[in-house]
Structure 1
């Protein structure tokens, strides 16, 4: 039964107050006492107390100073301040510096103090339960992410096998397909594989540590563009890089951002556009890098702009295939590296994204 009782540490430099407190409350609570702040610090290293009650006016260290000293190292116990004064400034100082739960005037009223103790313990228990729930949720979330990542990897293997079989059938002309079913199968497999790759991308972004290295944007943009040229050979890519100084950033996440935005610029081109274009520009400054990606595609409805970075949101103004998580991943990747993104779009005319990323080269010098 003793282990289930509320454990209270009472600190006061007057011995008769310590004895009076222990005599009044020892039947209801598990009481520990200390005659100074120093003695109290040694005691709470070995005893997990729920509530700490400290007298404000002690000769060496005041109650507020004691609470302030242990606020970072021992944050869990609830703090109650006893004071024989009604100085408003002292009380405000106590709340601001010591993060106290309540203050009680001396001499204390036994019923009032007992009620305050019980209420403080209820809050203490609620906080502990919340911490346990957070730990449990984090564990569940981690297990779920690992499961999704593992499953996604396992799914890609048979999908690649299906695509391989389709290509073999085409090469040796072993299958007659007048209705184009193989093309339909290939399209569906590629769409599913694209979605799986987005899941893997999301997982890696959330799990991998941020690593900064020097980036040459001319090379980076060229690599990105070359990967998309086969998807639509009619698109003209205009690349402009102004990089007079070194830029240090997270290559993986910047690649994730660029690939998703360029993918959208390619995917959402107007089918009847005579000169489809994707413009890519980079300007590097000592403290930041600014990237702009602009297209002359179908654009985004103004009422959808505030929702495009939400997971699984898809605009209903087009029939283009999409996972609905690409821009969400872009936003998450930017948050990892301290970047921001703005979008400007006119329906029927095109879209421009502006990304600003801190130049970590400046922070290392």
Structure 2
């Protein structure tokens, strides 16, 4: 049980870590996606701004070219400086936009296609540079003005701006919203998975533990009371009979003395049986038993041999119907202890009015579960007691055999330890107990 509890804790911890990792990863992806989109928006806005500024620079260069003449005054020098600054800015911006044009077939056509901007802009800048160097000849100024206002340059620059704006509008935040929805759905699924695969089992585990604790407390209360009674009663009885035996011996009443000694012997046998069952129960609770691989027939035969000393065992027709080659892997000691308890009860509570009683031990495997059945035609269990068959300290035939009342309770505990079950099936005459557990261990 302890090993199963540790395994369950590890499974729940592993599930929780996986779920938290999924939530963490989706959150990280969400944040990364937002930052990526923000960077793209920032880049798109910058490129739209640059492309729009190219159009403005083309017009400003044309205007400044018209103002350039051969005068050498301060105003003329300022005009030339402004024109050169505009030429430098436009050339630099063109280089960046031309490099970025490869990411779009539309912009690539505008820049590198026939009469594209990669051809027009250098021509335009060269003409404007001539204006600066020749101090404004009429032909150069006319060429610059014509390219900026009447040629295809302005149209191409407008087309670039429109292309960037169209791409931005088509992209905008749509994909980010879609991604966020997907990530949100994944997060909710992860939270749902945590609730279903972690918190739900935890709640069931806690609820089961509380029920088990309440049941254990109730059993402990009854156990304490019954133990104090069942251990004390034989001792008190023996003390009284010892005094009687002493008086009988003093009077040389050998018959009374022998009867007293026999009574003491029976009381001590009952005390020994009760003590043995209590020790077995405590050992079953505290010991962490490991699974073993074994043949069921070996365990059945060992159990039979260990009980041959019981009174009236020779009056039982014992039939064993178990597959010879049936191998199991489970906690062997619990299987053996259960078979011994059930067989012992079948022998002890045989019908004394019958010459030969019949007990059948059979086994079969169905759906990877082993089913062991012990059936007898003995005294059976009264219908009024059947709900308490597997409770502690239940004695159904105390006049026939005074047991501890823990045997069937121990059978139930063994079945639970094997992740199995035990069932009582009343017969028309006698009883049948069906003990089931997984063939490959618990």
TM-score, with length taken from structure 2 = 0.44
SS at match of 2:255: coil
Q: CA–CA distance in 2 between the matches of 1:304 and 1:187?
A: 26
- The two structures, once aligned, show a CA RMSD in angstroms of 4.8
Q: 1:260: which partner in 2?
A: 341
1:232 Cα shift? 2.4
- 1:231 aligned counterpart, secondary structure: coil
**For 2:408, which of 323, 327, 330 is the aligned residue?**
327
Cα distance in structure 2, aligned partners of 1:309 and 1:351 = 14
Inter-partner Cα distance in structure 1 for 2:303 and 2:293: 17
SS at match of 1:257: helix
More displaced stretch, 331-340 vs 224-233? 224-233
Structure-2 residue corresponding to 1:194? 273
Structure number with greater CO (CA < 8 Å, separation at least 6) is 2
For 1:178, the equivalent position in structure 2 comes to 255
Q: Distance in 2 between matches of 1:97 and 1:256?
A: 36
- Confirm whether residue 278 of structure 1 aligns to residue 355 of structure 2: no
The unaligned stretches of length 5 or more in structure 1 are: 1-36, 39-58, 76-95, 100-126, 163-174
Task: Find the aligned partners of 1:262 and 1:200 in 2 and give their Cα distance.
Answer: 20
1: CA distance between counterparts of 2:415 and 2:311?
27
Task: State the Cα distance separating 1:303 from its structure 2 match.
Answer: 2.7
User: Post-superposition shift, 1:252?
Assistant: 0.8
Q: What do the CA deviations read for 1:241-280 (whole angstroms, capped 9, x no partner)? A: 2144422121111112111111211111122211122221
Cα deviation digits, residues 184-234 of structure 1 (max 9, x gap): 111111111111111111112122224211222222112111222221243
Provide the rounded CA distance (Å) in 1 between the counterparts of 2:254 and 2:369. 54
Aligned to 1:202, what secondary structure does the other structure show? helix
Which has more radius of gyration?
2
Change (3 A) 1:64 1:260: farther
Cross-structure match for 1:354: 434
When residues 216 and 316 of structure 1 are mapped into structure 2, their CA distance, relative to the original with a 3 A threshold, is closer
Work out whether residues 242 and 284 of structure 1, in 8 Å CA contact, stay in contact via their aligned partners in 2: no
Asked if the contact 1:344–1:351 (Cα under 8 Å) also holds between the matched residues in 2, the reply is yes
Residues in 1 aligned to 2:397 and 2:364: alpha-carbon distance in whole angstroms: 34
Distance 1:352 1:98 in 2: 40
Cα distance in 1, alignment partners of residues 285 and 198 from structure 2: 36
Equivalent position to 2:307, from 205, 217, 228: 228
More helix, by proportion: 2
Partner of 1:209: 288
User: Is the CA contact (8 Å cut-off) linking 1:297 and 1:351 kept in structure 2?
Assistant: yes
Q: Which has the higher strand share?
A: 1
Given that 1:297 and 1:350 are in contact with CA atoms closer than 8 Å, whether structure 2 keeps it comes out as yes
Matched, 1:242 2:323: yes
Q: Distance in 1 between matches of 2:436 and 2:396?
A: 25
1:323 & 1:219 partners in 2: Cα distance? 27
Q: 2 CA distance for matches of 1:98 and 1:282?
A: 38
CA distance in 1 between counterparts of 2:198 and 2:418 reads: 34
- Are residues 176 and 210 of structure 1, via their aligned partners in 2, closer, same or farther at CA, if it must alter by over 3 Å? same
In 2, the alpha carbon distance for the partners of 1:60 and 1:98 equals 25
1:105-151 CA distances to partner (integer Å, 9 max, x unpaired)? xxxxxxxxxxxxxxxxxxxxxx9xx99xx8xx89x98xx99xx9xx9
TM superposition score normalised by structure 1: 0.52
CA distance in 2, matches of 1:290, 1:352: 12
**Between Structure 1 and Structure 2, how many residues are aligned?**
241
- Secondary structure at the aligned position of 1:224 is classed as helix
Shift in Å, 1:327: 0.8
Partner in structure 1 of residue 43 of structure 2: none
